Structure 1
Amino acid sequence: MSAPTVEAARRALTARLKSAAIESAELDARILTGHALGLDLTGLISAAQRQLTSDESARLEEFAHRRLAGEPVARVLGEKEFWGLPLQLSSATLVPRPDTETVVELALELLRAGGDLDRPLRIADLGTGSGAILLALLSELPAAQGFGTDISEAALQTAAANAARAGLSDRATFIACDYASGLAGPFDLIVSNPPYVRSADINGLAAEVRNHDPLAALDGGADGLDAYRALIPQAAGLLAPGAALVVEAGEGQSTQIEALMTTAGLTPATAPKADLAGIPRALAGHKKAR
């Protein structure tokens, strides 16, 4: 039996994914086929009638097996794009999500309003994971120095690799500690996407998240706010006067998080920034200027 063509293999994988009720079957099949063959979209089109080699067929079948078992495409590929940056993933890091870009957007809006985009800022990302937020900010702030913290050494190794890949190693430092406990201020901006899923809600998450993202990066305790109770007071003590803390929030948590900020001496900086689904996703608190 002759080997399938590139086009036939892609179509066959699409059919298998559709039969497994995977909504993004066509897109997933195209991405996985391209990755297995080392081809972009243009390459897939131009090589459509070429037959797969045995190695390519085996690699694509491995990818298909993993996707059909519920593994997210980003995990199969080992990377995910965030803010235009291709980020390496590991078992110790979340898959960066588009919703989290609202944190970057709000942080940049606040800095822009203060005329600070070109200033030599010190910024910190608490619980940095893959380094997504920190590296996105550094890519937009050419004079800034960034510090990413995480309790996971494996996550920090991934973040450091991503900084090197993005050409940002000279401006990114990674520190093993619990949120801001190992940092010394002052900082001009602190950001964080902490775990905020209620413990009782973990089992109700999509299987792609529940079974593949690290539990420590998801579980926010009984009410989902444990991480905020820890990091907000720490951050408030490290912010320079007039500087801001920007955090990601889960659905329905914004009011409670703003209250925690107020208790820590921070003033809500603006209305929460909504994600594409209209959910308040990024919140900011300013430290009082002297």
Structure 2
Amino acid sequence: MNLQAGTTLAGALAQLPLDPLENRILLCHALGITRVALITHPERTLDADEAARVSALAQRRLAGEPIAYITGEREFFGLDFHVTDAVLIPRPDTELLVELAIERTPQQGRALDMGTGSGAIAVSLAHARPDAGVTALDVSEAALAVARRNAERNRARVRFLHSDWFSSLHGEQFDIIVSNPPYIASGDEHLSQGDLRFEPQGALTDHADGLSALRTIAAGAPAHLVRGGWLLMEHGYDQAAQVRGLLADQYEDVQSWRDLAGIERVTGGRLR
């Protein structure tokens, strides 16, 4: 679709072929205006450059590109995050992991976020609990650059490490370890559907059975947790029982928590 110069904001909203919310988001982003301006000045007209810019963004969305990558923005846990195609798009499901971590991080405690990606978990935790010492690691330098920008943007104090899981920790210990690791099995049909087609595959799938990263974290965490420290991991909708099994030998109070859709989304336990 192609908007024409002279089209009003109201006319653009009517002509754009996306759902109404995405139409508003793309218009505001392309024109650099607020939602209030969109509502209060519906008669404003687009010049040729503006019309072409809006049309180009709409075509990208129609091709399936996630709206968060198009705008470079995503809200998570009440904060604004910058996102690129180097990181997963933060999702509301993961807010459960942050809530559980906030509750279980002791005063002045040390927390570790493994595979931080955009930094959504670590930054949200550090923002809510400025008393805590939060460390976040990722194997991707590109992801760490995004995460650092988000920490600065939200004035959250986070220490970032370039690390392949536990390799750069050198014996450090924490009161709580959290992670939203790759947990989609190789060949899962969802990887070729929707937004997942555009997201970094290495952050989505372990290229195996979907449990290898969860196994690595569960097995390695005891060396980096204080006694009684918590390990909390997000996982797939059908993996809760298997993840509880991974924790059974070395952890106590093992349980799974359900997200807003009623799906067991996070499993964790305390180190014996």
Residues 47-126 of structure 1: matches in 2 within 5 Å? 47-111=41-105, 116=106, 119-126=107-114
Alpha-carbon deviation of 1:206?
A: 5.9
Is it true that 1:10 corresponds to 2:13 in the alignment? yes
Letter in 1 for 2:200: P
1:220 is displaced (CA, Å) by: 2.7
**Displacement after TM superposition at 1:241 (Å):** 1.3
Alpha-carbon distance between aligned partners in 2 of 1:89 and 1:41, rounded to the nearest angstrom: 21
**Equivalent pairs, count:** 268
- Deviations 1:158-180 (Å, cap 9, x if unpaired)? 10011111112xx2111111122
Q: Which moved more, 1:132-141 or 1:35-44?
A: 35-44
8 Å Cα contact 2:5-2:46 kept in structure 1: no
Residue aligned with 1:272, SS:
strand
Call closer, same or farther: CA 1:206–1:31 in 2, change over 3 Å. Answer: farther
Q: Which amino acid in 1 is paired with 2:22?
A: D
- Following TM superposition, by how much is the alpha carbon of 1:222 offset from its aligned partner in structure 2, in angstroms? 3.2
> Matches of 1:234 and 1:47 in 2, distance apart?
57
Distance (Å, rounded) in 1 between the aligned partners of 2:222 and 2:50: 53
Unaligned stretches of 5+ residues in structure 1: 18-24
Q: Give the deviation of 1:91 after TM superposition.
A: 1.7
Distance 1:2 1:260 in 2: 60
Counterpart check, 1:138 vs 2:126: yes
- For residue 230 of structure 1, what is the aligned residue in structure 2? 216
Structure 2: distance between partners of 1:284 and 1:40: 41
Query: 1:174 and 1:229 mapped to 2: Cα distance?
Result: 23
Checking the alignment, whether the CA contact within 8 Å between 1:189 and 1:244 is kept in structure 2 is yes
Q: Which residue of 2 aligns with 1:196?
A: 183
Structure-2-length-normalised TM-score: 0.94
Q: Contact between 1:196 and 1:221, CA under 8 Å: does it hold in 2? A: no
| Length-normalised TM-score, structure 1 | 0.88
CA RMSD of aligned residues (A): 1.5
- Which amino acid is the alignment partner of residue 186 of structure 1? Q
CA distance in 1, matches of 2:186, 2:5: 51
Give CA-to-partner distance per residue, 1:69-104, whole Å, 9 cap, x none. 101111111111111111111221000100011101
Is 1:161 the counterpart of 2:149? The answer is yes
| Contact 2:186/2:206 (8 A) holds in 1 | yes
Residue identity in the other structure for 1:283: T
User: In structure 2, what is the Cα distance between the partners aligned to 1:207 and 1:255?
Assistant: 26
Matching residue of 1:148? 136
Q: Which residue of 1 aligns with 2:174?
A: 187
Task: State whether structure 2 residue 231 is matched by structure 1 residue 245.
Answer: yes
Q: 1:79 to 1:123 in 2, by over 3 A?
A: same
Partner of 2:198: 212
Residue 180 of structure 1 aligns to a residue in which SS? helix
Letter in 2 for 1:97: R
Q: Which residue identity does 1:176 align to in structure 2?
A: H
Give the match for residue 27 of structure 2.
Answer: 33
